[in-house]
Amino acid sequence: MNVILLGPPGAGKGTQAKRVAQAFGLKHLSSGDILRAERKAGTELGKKAQEFMDAGKLVPDDLVVSMMVAQIDGPDAGDGVLLDGFPRTRLQAEALDAKLAGVGKKIDRVVDLVVADDKVAGRLMGRRSCSKCGAVYHVEFNPPKAEGQCDNGCGELTIRPDDTEEVVRQRLETYHEQTAPLTAYYRDKALLREVDGAKTVDEVAVSVESACR
């Protein structure tokens, strides 16, 4: 079974992806993970991707999709894979389907974590990070013992540049622009399952696992 997990930034895709992958024995893949793996292995695809990255350019969709398919069709894919946040656009989805068909594979389920913009914005803007040890906190869900201070004694916590209100709103706007046609594409294929991502982590996990069956 090959599953795609969609959702806006801050929806909890990473957390849910790990749980679902473990529950179904799937290999958890993200485009970032794959880029690093292909580069580390020194594959032809990895070398091509490195050329673009070294030049400060985005890796082309076709190359990223090719790397995804290589992983999905690889010997260690096991019972299938879970793609975390990829594809991001309809064009990527169409290219992925075409290349998978070429190796006799397909996407079986697409689960979309639906969370209202205000809820997601609150999650992201409430994050605080330690620049020294990398610890991450949240003012509401996981606050530090002393306000604004790292529990590990590193000092003052900071707000990541991409967690400011202006940037968060822009990220959400971009997400909706790209994802609206993507979700419509999978809905037309009767693959899309929507899950309320605003519930607790455990409740969302149960719903996601149910949607994958």
Q: What amino acid positions are annotated as catalytic residues?
A: 13, 88, 127, 160, 171
Relative to beta strand 127-129, strand 136-138 is antiparallel
Handedness of CA 170, 171, 173, 177 (dihedral sign): positive
Q: Please calculate the CA angle 195-199-204 and round it to the nearest 5 degrees.
A: 50
Query: Which letter does DSSP use for residue 59 in this model?
Result: P
Handedness of CA 165, 182, 2, 194 (dihedral sign): positive
What is the rounded distance in angstroms from the CA atom of residue 121 to the CA atom of residue 170? 11
Q: Helices in 25-78 by DSSP H: which ranges? A: 31-41, 44-54, 61-72
* Non-local CB neighbours of 188 within 8 Å, separated by 6+ positions: none
Q: Give the C-alpha distances (Å, rounded to integers) separating 98 from 44, 69, 101, 106.
A: 21, 10, 5, 9
| CB 2, CB 80: distance < 8 Å | yes
| CB 182, CB 6: distance < 8 Å | yes
